[in-house]
Amino acid sequence: MRDKHLAPSSGIGCLSHPRQPNPAFRVHSFSFQKGWCVMSQDMVRRDVEEFGKDHGLIHEVVVTGRKVGAEQAFYAALAHDEALFRRVVEMVEQDPLQAALQALLAAAAQGVTCENGVYRFFDPGTPLIILRSVPVVREKKLVYPQDWYDGYDWAKRTDAPQERFLRIPVTDSFNLSFTDQEKLLTEDEEVPSTRSVATFLVVNALATGKRLLPDRYVRTADKVSDGRRVVVGDFGAVGFSVDDYWGDRCDPRIGLAASRKSRTSKS
């Protein structure tokens, strides 16, 4: 169940919008590091003292923030908390893997609780393709090394850091079709993303030393190009897998994960 085909590339990279260049900027170059798009340090505004008046750039920040769940409360906190702002600046300046490592260890340090089958944990929002490469994840063999999903948006997606509540697996959800599994969700639940399920398994393993779903999988909300649903599980000594073999049909090893609905982002 390990070897997978390569997913079709989505061609995602740095996209430039078809508009007239702003004469107030000098754009020299972009660089790409480990899948991240980074502006070169010589990409500098000439009139730095006028930075705060650049409404176009500020608007772009707000638009991008909304895509990952950052609303007014986030910017209010950033505006009035110097220590928080400093941490954000440090994360931007750091290597993405080091920033992800610190966020992941901080999430694990907060611990994981479970009440009535519902796990509560802090999700740092790390993309799956970054999560699997974080040094501690590699060293402890928490995510089985696969690259078939690298071309999919759901594998690259970043979410706003937040507390999450997961039922994993949903009780009595095994050996049911996906349609029947959905009927087991409560009104305030939804099927979580592959990213959030994977993050939970990693955070829980770091916090408790336990590898959940050792011989089973749970379905997620994401799909591959032919419509088959992504599953996560089989968490053994070499890490858990991300697969898509079973589609939506019944299987005694395939259950469902459920996430409490969030107002700020996809789960």
Confidence (pLDDT) at 65? 85
Report whether the peptide linkage leading into residue 169 is cis, meaning its omega lies within 30 degrees of zero.
Answer: yes
Could you give the count of Cα atoms lying within 13 Å of 227 in the half-sphere of its Cβ?
A: 3
118 shares its domain with 225: yes
207: its two tokens: 């916090």
Confidence (pLDDT) at 90? 73
The three-state secondary structure class of 105 is helix
Q: Does some domain include residue 64?
A: yes
- How much is the pTM? 0.66
Read off the pLDDT band of 119 (50, 70, 90): very high
55: its two tokens: 């409404």
Domain final position from 93, 108, 128: 93
Return all residues near 115 (Cβ < 8 A) that are at least 6 apart: none
> Is residue 29 over pLDDT 60?
no
Query: What's the chain's average pLDDT?
Result: 82
> Is residue 189 over pLDDT 60?
yes
- Residue 44, domain extent: 30-93
Confidence (pLDDT) at 245? 80
Q: Taking a C-beta distance cutoff of 8 angstroms, is the pair 43, 238 a contact? A: no
140 shares its domain with 77: no
- The whole-angstrom separation of Cα 166 and Cα 146 is 24
> Is residue 257 over pLDDT 80?
yes
At 236-253, the pLDDT tens digits run 999 999 999 888 899 999
Considering only residues 97 and 217, tell me which one the structure prediction assigns the higher pLDDT: 217
> Is residue 87 over pLDDT 90?
no
* Across 174-189, average pLDDT: 96
68 shares its domain with 168: no
Confidence (pLDDT) at 50? 62
* Across 13-24, average pLDDT: 36
* Across 123-151, average pLDDT: 96
Q: Does some domain include residue 233?
A: yes
Longest dimension (CA), the chain: 64
> Is residue 196 over pLDDT 80?
yes
Helix spans in 140-177 (H):
153-156
107 shares its domain with 201: yes
Q: Does some domain include residue 229?
A: yes
* Across 207-235, average pLDDT: 96
Read off the pLDDT band of 216 (50, 70, 90): very high
> Is residue 101 over pLDDT 80?
yes
Percent of the chain past pLDDT 70, that is, above it, reads 76
Confidence (pLDDT) at 176? 97
> Is residue 49 over pLDDT 60?
no
Read off the pLDDT band of 58 (50, 70, 90): confident
80 shares its domain with 145: no
Confidence (pLDDT) at 94? 65
Return all residues near 75 (Cβ < 8 A) that are at least 6 apart: 62, 65
* Across 31-60, average pLDDT: 53
77 shares its domain with 142: no
Q: Does some domain include residue 128?
A: yes
